[in-house]
Amino acid sequence: MVLIISGNECGIKSGRIVFLLYLFFRRLLLNRKITMVIISG
């Protein structure tokens, strides 16, 4: 996961969007892992 921080506002905005997407997908993966444990358990 690489965040490119540039001086302009557009770069900061896109970096923030990428970061939010990363958090969202990480939460999805965690939820999927938990549901897999529940199903297998």
pLDDT tens digit string along 13-40?
777 888 888 888 888 888 787 776 766 6
pTM of the model: 0.48
The set of residues, in sequence order, having a beta carbon less than 8 Å from that of 11 and lying 6+ positions away, is: 4, 5
Domain that holds residue 36: 1-40
Give pLDDT, residue 7: 55
State how many domains the chain has. 1
Contact between 4 and 15 under an 8 Å Cβ cutoff? The reply is: yes
Angle at 24 (CA atoms; ends 20, 30), nearest 5 degrees? 145
Dihedral angle over CA of 32, 36, 39, 41, nearest 10: -140
Give pLDDT, residue 1: 44
